[in-house]
Amino acid sequence: MEAINGLALGFSHALTLTNLAWALLGCFLGTAVGVLPGIGPALTIALLLPITFQVSATGAFILFCGVFYGAMYGGSTTSILLNAPGESGSIITALEGAKMARNGRAGPALATAAIGSFVAGVVGTLGIAFLGPVIVDFALVLGPAEYFALMVLCFVTVSAVLGGSALRGLVSLFFGLTLGLIGIDLQTGQPRMTFGLPELFDGVNVVLVAVALFAVAEALHMAWRHHGGEPQVLPVGKLMLSRSDLKRSFWPWIRGAGLGFPFGVLPAGGTEMPTMLSYYAERKLASPEHAKEFGTTGAIEGVAGPEAANNAAAAGILVPMLTLGLPTSATAAIMLSAFQSYGIQPGPLLFETQAELVWTLIASLFVANVMLVVLNLPLVGLWVKILKIPTPQLYAGILVFATIGTYGISNSIVDLILLYAIGIIGMFMRRFDFPVAPVVIGMILGPMAEQALRQALTISEGNWMVFVTRPGSLIILLVALAALLGPRIYGVWARRRVA
Amino acid sequence: MTNRIPLPDLLAGLFVLGFGLVGFWQAGAIPVSPLYAQVGPKAVPYVVASGMTLLGALLVLSALRGGWSAQVAEVAEAGPPNLRALGLLGAGLLANLVLIGPAGFSIAASAQFVLVAAAFGSRSMARDVLIALPLTLLVWFLFVQGLGVNIGAGLLEGLVLQLLGQEAP
């Protein structure tokens, strides 16, 4: 079995002292930023990208994956104790979790979230290890035409299928695509969309855009809406799960993990859908006496299931990222740019050319999961303290790091101006309910899609029919079209039926 | 529902439309490549600009039909914009922008820190200064010495380096 051999290789590297230290640092940082409202894993990894100049690729990615997993563990703490979900995947956790906390059951809610995250993390990571090589075998036969089609599918799902409105999602995506075009065209050496400014010839840095959208825009939007008052942190109480809690949590964990992982793997990515489905499933499956707790005193099943689904989906997102080089979340997009800064192109060849890196990474995900349960359960008091950092100093601090992340790359005032300009655009995007993640994904994936398009057309000698005559690419494009138009056609049909 | 056209939504749509048109202008300005290529450097920029313009037009249309943001719960429930907080935060960003070149990172970032904290209702400016200066100096040293990322040394950094008996980078 390729996966078993790979994991053996991976663990032999992951369990060295240095790599364990990177994993611990990543988990610690990740949990901290997950707990803090206002910063997430995408921003943190973007700010940590400078370490790619100093640290080996393996160490850096172990750190990034620790942050990625850790942020999800930490996010549930904030949802439960503050009733303020930090990211879309933990909205559902806040729903029941905060109710449990208000009824003095914060401890069991935190415990079931942490253990559920662990179960899902292990299931998801096993999924990566066993599914990865299978997808790689399949991906090796894909040509540039199929890759282009896959990226189109990715564009459609991250912008038009997820989120509130296809129109606004697509605007975000095209904003990202435009930003990705800025700079020298790699194939012909012509400057594009630069307004003739030499500062823009190298393109817009993705870190700058991520920092602008996730830190500056967030701070501006919070200031716009600021009306004083500190959020109240609910007390934790006893952490232990009673026997009945454990019994009620066990199957939701398993079901949540099973539901979440496939959603992450599909380019339909996103964590909203699986968490929502898991919530409704648990609500339906709960025994009548427990079902009464949903929406009233808070049902533990409603925390255990969605939290597991959230983590398993997030683990699943790593599958298309590692095997196909397709990022389906903002965090994955930033990680992809980290790979690029090492000159490594994620994709099917990664498992062959960088086998050691890939398997060490996967093994480290197991390590990170174990560390995170330990970090999150006994040390929950520490994270509660972090939650109590007052808002003024928190946002002031975030903006200090935003300056470092931008000015540190280039020492250029132009970049700072760009940071604030995109930040202001981001603030209005929040105000008008435009999603932010498609911007980052479009920016990273756009240039790759253009390259695939040009390669495909060079091979076909300029024949655009290549995208519909190759069966693989035709099928993927049809799926993309269905994903784009399907919901609308269904909507019209449903309305007709009612009328 | 009345048929009033929400001005903010209309402006947002027009902004996207304008963005698309600027994209067209810039795509047109790309020099024609002397190198032969099946797909030139202009093709994709034109496609993206067309997409953006079309989406902008659709947003304007949607705004003319009553807009969308009134249905977003967060917008509907929100009070009036807090212009004081926004102004202080903007002043903080501006201070950072102006000071970082001449005065260096720590002073610029500290000024920003104090103004941003004030924007979010911090009352004690003295305490914020006492938090900001050590914090910014610490991260400056971490990034410069630890990661080799140069974030712009200035007066304060030079002074501290001198005290430590080191050469300024």
**Domain count of chain A?**
1
Express as a percent the part of chain A with pLDDT over 70.
97
Average pLDDT, whole number, for chain A? 87
Q: What's the average model confidence in pLDDT over A81-102?
A: 80
Task: Judge whether residue A456 has pLDDT over 70.
Answer: yes
How do residues A241-284 score in pLDDT, each as one tens digit? Answer: 888 888 899 999 999 999 999 888 886 657 778 888 898 888 88
pLDDT, position B19: 94
pLDDT band at A94 (very low <50, low <70, confident <90, very high): confident
- Residue A404 DSSP SS3: helix
* ipTM entry: 0.91
Cα B1 to Cα A494: distance, rounded to the nearest angstrom: 23
The answer to whether position A48 is within a domain reads: yes
Query: Shortest CB distance from A50 goes to which of B117, B119, B147?
Result: B147
- Between residues 83 and 122 of chain B, which touch chain A (CB distance below 8 Å)? 85-86, 88-89, 92-93, 96-97, 100-101, 105, 108-109, 112-114, 116-122
- Residue A188 DSSP SS3: coil
Residue A326 burial (C-beta neighbours within 10 Å; 0-12, 13-18, 19+) = buried
How do residues A5-28 score in pLDDT, each as one tens digit? Answer: 889 999 998 899 999 999 999 999
How do residues A53-78 score in pLDDT, each as one tens digit? Answer: 788 899 999 999 999 999 888 888 88
How do residues B112-127 score in pLDDT, each as one tens digit? Answer: 999 999 999 888 889 9
- Chain B residue at shortest CA distance from A193: B26
- Residue A298 DSSP SS3: coil
B-chain residues near A453 (CB < 8 A)? 39, 44
Q: What's the average model confidence in pLDDT over B145-159?
A: 76
pLDDT, position A229: 67
* Tokens coding A410: 């280039």
Chain A contact for B41 (CB, 8 A cutoff): yes
Task: Looking at mean pLDDT, say which of A153-162, A233-242, A428-437, B15-24 comes out highest.
Answer: B15-24
DSSP A411-432: --HHHHHHHHHHHHHHHHHHHT
The answer to whether position A343 is within a domain reads: yes
The answer to whether position A235 is within a domain reads: no
Task: Judge whether residue A106 has pLDDT over 80.
Answer: yes
Tally of CA atoms within 13 A in the half-sphere of A234 that contains its CB: 25
In A377-470, alpha helices (H): 380-387, 391-410, 413-431, 437-459, 466-469
Q: Which domain holds residue A386?
A: 2-227+241-498
Chain B contact for A197 (CB, 8 A cutoff): no
* Least Cα separation, residue B10 to chain A (angstroms): 11
pTM of the model: 0.88
The answer to whether position A234 is within a domain reads: no
pLDDT, position B167: 60
The answer to whether position A256 is within a domain reads: yes
Task: Judge whether residue B73 has pLDDT over 80.
Answer: no
Does residue A220 or residue A494 have the better pLDDT? A220
pLDDT, position B37: 62
* Least Cα separation, residue A110 to chain B (angstroms): 27
The answer to whether position A232 is within a domain reads: no
Task: Looking at mean pLDDT, say which of A55-59, A323-327, A420-424 comes out highest.
Answer: A420-424
The answer to whether position A64 is within a domain reads: yes
**Pair A323, A135: CB distance under 8 Å:** yes
pLDDT, position A31: 92
pLDDT, position A138: 86
pLDDT, position B1: 45
The answer to whether position A404 is within a domain reads: yes
